[in-house]
Amino acid sequence: MSTRRAKSKRRARRRAVRELRRPCDRWQTRLRWCLLILLAVSLVTVVPAVGRTVGRARLHTAREQAAHRHRVTAYAVTGATGRGTRWTEDLPRRIPVRWRDTGGGERSATVEVPSDTTKGAPVPVWLDETGVPVRAPLSHDKAVGRGWAAAGAATGGLLMVFLAAWAGPAAAANRARYARWARECQAVETEEYPEVKVREDAVLQGSEGALLEASRDADVMVIAAHRRTHALGLQLGPVTHAMLHHAHCPVTLVPVPADAS
């Protein structure tokens, strides 16, 4: 019996929350779920495709470079130490090096070496088919890593698109809510109850937190509660329930019909 009562209370609580939700809240929820589904489908399909495409392209580049570049051993003409400031002492340096080609001729060039290279130390140099110094060919691990990096960048881009697609409608809905509240306050002040002075105060905070903070300086707080016509009793939403239990001033609930939104 206790399990049935608990389930009945949970169902009643969910129905009460649905009763208190406005039309704009409903379409915002639907939009959020649609965007989340699109995001999930994109993460499953687009991100792996981007990672595979970039990874395969980088692996092809790595094979091409390995096939057209060869390594020779050169020797440093000067040392790399003492060529930087204390801010750049650990960075690679460019120094002249010499090596002999396949025909026995002496070649020289300026290449990038570690900062601790000494004079006469052997330095690996990669050459292309024409004998010009080039960078080392891309390794297999780096090619795969760039594929993963592209997948990560695609994930970040999709998240940014999702946030942008959600932020625009959310901001429009908030502006519509604020405008409606202003019209309602003006109607109360000028039409129905001209003797009541209304002060508009919009805050960027959750409903429960904003109302609890406002209750500290209030004499009484009046909250509208929607009554469900097909059930007995007053079904309370989470905001109303929080105010009844945690407000710092007396709380008055005013039942209103479910269609008076």
Are 108 and 98 contacting, i.e. CB atoms less than 8 angstroms apart? yes
Domain assignment present for residue 221? The answer is no
List pLDDT tens digits, range 68-119: 998 999 998 888 765 555 556 667 888 889 988 877 788 888 888 887 888 8
List pLDDT tens digits, range 221-239: 888 776 555 454 556 777 8
Instruction: Provide the pairing of β-strand 93-100 with 221-227.
Output: unpaired
Supply the pLDDT for residue 10: 67
Overall average pLDDT of the 199-205 stretch: 73
Token representation of residue 218: 């209030």
Are 101 and 131 contacting, i.e. CB atoms less than 8 angstroms apart? yes
Higher pLDDT, 58 or 194: 58
Domain assignment present for residue 125? The answer is yes
Are 23 and 261 contacting, i.e. CB atoms less than 8 angstroms apart? yes
Domain assignment present for residue 111? The answer is yes
Phi, psi of 234 (to 5 degrees): -100, 115
Supply the pLDDT for residue 192: 67
Whether 47 shows a pLDDT value over 50: the answer reads yes
Are 256 and 249 contacting, i.e. CB atoms less than 8 angstroms apart? no
SS3 139: coil
Supply the pLDDT for residue 4: 67
Domain assignment present for residue 6? The answer is no
Task: Say how many domains are in the chain.
Answer: 1
- Measured CA to CA, the distance from residue 131 to residue 183 in angstroms comes to 79
- Measured CA to CA, the distance from residue 69 to residue 200 in angstroms comes to 73
Domain assignment present for residue 63? The answer is no
List pLDDT tens digits, range 157-186: 999 999 888 888 888 877 777 777 777 767
Domain assignment present for residue 40? The answer is no
Mean pLDDT (the chain) is 80
Supply the pLDDT for residue 261: 45
Q: Which residues contact 249 (CB under 8 A, 6 or more apart)?
A: 215, 216, 218, 219, 220, 221
Phi, psi of 2 (to 5 degrees): -65, -35
Domain residue limits at 124: 70-136
Instruction: Provide the pairing of β-strand 93-100 with 106-113.
Output: antiparallel
